[in-house]
Amino acid sequence: MLFLLRPRQTWMPYALPRNREQQDIYNRQLHNAYGSTRRLDPSAAGGGQPSADPLEGLKELASLHESGALTDDEFAVAKAKILGRHDES
């Protein structure tokens, strides 16, 4: 017969749940500490790469589409992005 001895746990292996007020305070602390690490869209950030000529971008997309590297849907989405329309319907 095999007996397994399991010592009593004197500590909890997980944190106790916080009440709503403590959780809100903790969330605000995290938000303040890590707010500067959010990812932004380069166009919304106002920086990044200089704006390219849209006509050149469309020509490049058309050549990729004709060669078969882009599907019809991918071509339409990329074309709308270049033209500044973000309605991907």
Instruction: Locate the domains of the chain by residue range.
Output: 51-89
pLDDT digits (tens, 9 = 90+) for 70-88: 889 989 998 888 888 654 4
Non-local (6+) Cβ contacts of 49 within 8 A are: 42
pTM listed for this prediction: 0.38
Q: What span, in angstroms and rounded, lies between the C-alpha atoms of 35 and 71?
A: 38
pLDDT digits (tens, 9 = 90+) for 51-63: 568 888 889 999 9
